[in-house]
Amino acid sequence: MLPPLGVWLALGSLIQGCLCTCIPHTTPCSSLKVTPPEGASLMNATATERYNVTYDGPTYNGVAGSVNICDVEVFLTHGDARDAVRITIYLPLEGWNGRWQGTGGGGFAAGQFDFELVPAVTSGYSAGATDAGVGLDGNTDVWYNSTQLVKNFVYLSLHEMTVIGKDLSEKFYGKKPEYSYWFGCSTGGRQGMSEAQRYPEDYDGIFAGAPAINWDRFVLADYWPVAAQKQEGDPVPLCKFNAITNASVKACDLLDGATDGLISNPLKCKFDAKTLVDVEVQCDGNATTTITENDAVVWSNIRNGLEDSEGNSLWYGLEPGTDYKNLAELPGFLISRQWIADFLLDSPGLDLSNIKQDELVDLFHQSVSEFGDLWATDNPDLSAFSERGGKILTWHGWADDLIPPVGTIDYWQRVVDLAGGEKETDEFYRVFMAPGLGHCGGGPGPQMPVDNLAPLVDWVEKGKAPETILFSGNGQSRNICKFPKELEYIGSGDVSDAASWKCV
């Protein structure tokens, strides 16, 4: 959910080749005119040439170079809603590859702007981002009760940004983009799935990393790690959680045939946290403490996910090998607290520290019933998108500490059931589950590719559907398998090398 600004990626050359000769622009930047989409009114628009635009810091949709662009800044409003939606379109002054790229946001921010726009333009795309009129600071207190702003954030502004961006690309270069791609992770992944479900004509290919679909369920359930501790008594020190998690990795590491510090398929891990009761662990400094049965129960309850009082599962938990810090540390995950206090209880800033299981279960059912239809973005019917030849690639880290990865598998299975089987689904939607990968990067495992769009472009434009995707980092590499296949050590060779593993 949070923009993964701390994720460092190995750099490399990724500027994708143009479709033919790189296409020059035919219209002066300052002469561009913005046509507002149906239902929106234009408040203001400027088009300015900018040179040597850079982004300093890590990115995850490619290398951010120094680019020369036509920067089109657009502000839209809708009827009498008095919203002001910012849309930014970057058009490369040279080297356009004939493709358009829409980019997504993170958390309660609808877009991340230069963080994703500069790498996109470096790769030759014309590209766009939007703030949906809600700003970029993630403060929902000021817009959670606005029907228009919520609609903007959930789906409308993404579509309007896409319509404007593709139209400006055509006006600037004298031809339509030949292919259109979406890139996003977390909220950005959810936005990409929204485009496929609501506006199937907008994109030819969608990359949806760790997608925040199932929003109405997982965001509420992400508060369970805090409530689980309250339910059982006192908060559990993070050092105890870490000790139990490390033990889970040690117990299940060999399930894939090699000791590499990773669990290739956590669903097979039958680790019992109670085996660590009475074990001493080191915490701050040289202090030691003893894991209690209560500590083991809390860790297991978080792993199992939110359940009602009768033991019925409501949503998934964190997998073995996942860091509990972001969800279990008090006062809890900010986005979950905002969702509960603002959207569910209409009480911004409300102290939630005393919420226990029964109340959280009631809030879960409220979240699904009141917000599921609009926010969930989990419609498994992708037929309109697939019938026009659209392709979706998703990867999700098994060690994602913010969005339970099994939620993505749950959605994939529902797509498979509706489409008629795995073979039929493989024609348009493929999922890759990465061992040890955290939320949109990070974690102890191999990291996502520098160029996440490359395999998607090959699939859309060349018909080369990926069976594996190479992840590398932390001194390891793996050819991540198309789900439901998983990695298995071949029995010889360096366990850190992708060549020593196969998909089974």
Q: How would you label 481-504 residue by residue, b for 16+ Cβ within 10 Å and e otherwise? A: bbbebbbbbeeeeebbebebbbee
The answer to whether residues 202 and 162 touch, using CB atoms and an 8 Å cutoff, is yes
Q: Is 272 a catalytic residue?
A: no
Q: Which amino acid is at 121?
A: V
Q: Is 186 a catalytic residue?
A: yes
Q: Which helix (H) or strand (E) holds 392?
A: strand 391-397
Strands (E), 223-292: 280-282, 288-290
Q: Which helix (H) or strand (E) holds 46?
A: strand 41-53
Cβ within 8 Å of residue 128, ≥6 positions away:
87, 88, 89, 90, 100, 101, 102, 103, 117, 161, 162, 164, 165
CB atoms within 10 A of CB 276: 23
List the catalytic residue out of 159, 439, 472, 477: 439
Please give the Cα distance from 377 to 154 (Å, whole number): 9
List the catalytic residue out of 83, 256, 400, 401: 400
List the catalytic residue out of 123, 157, 186, 194: 186
Please give the Cα distance from 454 to 62 (Å, whole number): 10
3-state secondary structure of 203: coil
Q: How far, in whole angstroms, is CA 121 from its chain's centroid?
A: 21
The residue to which tokens 């606005």 are assigned = 146
Q: Which amino acid is at 298?
A: V
* Residues annotated as part of the active site: 186, 400, 439
